[in-house]
């Protein structure tokens, strides 16, 4: 009886071992494909590869490496609203006009295109330097209009010089129609605006005026006026901002461009067509957080 059972027992044991062994190897292979090697663990995970931004157009440019580290519709031509005022300031400063020269606000400086609000009144007299400060810090349209009006040759000459300056900087997709940005035909791309921001960084007064947090302006015959920067980030101690400019008209959405240092690296941030009052500032903070967290983890920032 035992002699009959022995072969059957040996056969059962052999079948069991053959069935068991492949299952063990298959489980090991599956684990190897799911767990990254030590080398691949340095690659940014998918959720860290780019920030989630609400702006329709965005570009983050690492000036040190001279490359875009994030891009979203960066070559799309779009209205740029008051980002225009950076170019207005550059051509005024290029002309070497005296900053202490007094300029009086006139009816021709009023916005008849959009009917935008301004606290600047006819007859207010300020220096050219004060008007530059208000145009860049508070995005004062009447200040920008007065700067162009008093440019040698008048507003048309100033706008022509703005377009010439754009071509000089290699901004091939940029065109200006006025000095304020109220005209929706003032258009550019995020790629072109990076060039403008880098150029603007070379002007000490643009750096100073665009990042001033607030200023009290006194004009003879008028009560003092307190103006604030339209970009709340300039007074945020966690930011190191060299150039700042906001913009808004309905056709452009809310816009924000900055030249800043993040993790000790010079970076240009361009955010255009942000829907919602706080989206552009929120996007800027998301960019900063993304860059800081990526650097802290020792990961490589990927191009979008």
Q: Catalytic: which of 50, 55, 85, 210?
A: 85
Q: Are strands 225-228 and 102-104 parallel, antiparallel or unpaired?
A: unpaired
Tokens 């002309």 correspond to 95
Per annotation, catalytic residue among 50, 82, 179, 274 = 82
CB atoms within 10 A of CB 302: 14
* CA count, 13 A, side-chain hemisphere, 276: 10
Catalytic status, residue 139: yes
Token pair, residue 248, equals 């808004």
Among 50, 138, 139, 210, the active-site one is: 139
Sign of CA dihedral 26, 31, 33, 37: negative
* Contact criterion met (CB below 8 Å) for 254 and 276: yes
Q: Is 245 one of the annotated active-site residues of the chain?
A: no
Give the angle subtended at the CA of 261 by the CAs of 257 and 267, to the nearest 5°: 50
Alpha-carbon span 53 to 254, nearest angstrom: 13
Interior angle at CA 176, CA 175 and CA 178, nearest 5: 165
- Partners of residue 102 on adjacent β-strands: 127
- The span from the CA of 237 to the CA of 253, in Å, is 27
**C-beta neighbour count of 290 within 10 angstroms:** 21
| Known catalytic membership, residue 28 | no
Question: What is the CA angle 168-171-175, rounded to 5?
Answer: 100
Tell me the catalytic residues: 82, 85, 139
């Amino acid at each position: 009886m035992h002699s009959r059972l022995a072969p059957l027992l040996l056969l059962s044991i052999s079948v069991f071992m053959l069935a068991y062994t492949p299952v063990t190897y298959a489980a090991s292979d599956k684990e190897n494909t799911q767990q990254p090697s030590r080398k691949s663990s340095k690659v940014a995970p998918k959720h860290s590869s780019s920030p989630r931004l609400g702006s329709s157009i965005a570009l983050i440019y690492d000036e040190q490496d001279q490359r875009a580290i994030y891009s979203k519709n960066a070559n799309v031509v779009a209205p740029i609203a008051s980002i225009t005022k950076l170019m207005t300031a550059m051509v005024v400063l290029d002309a070497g006009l005296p900053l202490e020269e007094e300029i009086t606000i006139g009816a021709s400086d009023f916005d008849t295109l959009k009917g935008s609000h301004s606290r600047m009144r006819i007859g207010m007299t300020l220096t050219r330097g004060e008007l530059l400060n208000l145009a860049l810090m508070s995005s004062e349209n009447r200040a920008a209009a007065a700067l162009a009006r008093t440019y040698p040759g008048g507003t048309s000459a100033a706008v022509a010089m703005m377009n010439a300056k754009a071509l000089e900087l290699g901004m091939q997709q940029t065109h200006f129609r006025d000095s304020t940005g109220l005209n929706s035909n003032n258009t550019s791309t995020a790629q072109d605006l990076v060039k403008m921001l880098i150029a603007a960084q070379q002007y000490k007064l643009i750096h100073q005026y665009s990042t001033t947090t607030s200023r009290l302006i006194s004009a003879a015959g008028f009560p003092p006026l307190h103006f604030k920067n339209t970009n709340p980030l300039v007074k945020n101690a966690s930011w190191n901002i060299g150039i700042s400019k906001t913009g808004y008209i309905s056709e452009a959405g809310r816009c924000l461009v900055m030249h800043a240092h993040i993790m000790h690296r010079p970076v240009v941030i361009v955010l255009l067509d942000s829907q919602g009052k706080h989206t552009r500032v929120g996007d800027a903070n998301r960019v900063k957080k993304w860059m800081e967290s990526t650097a802290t983890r020792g990961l490589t920032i990927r191009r979008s």
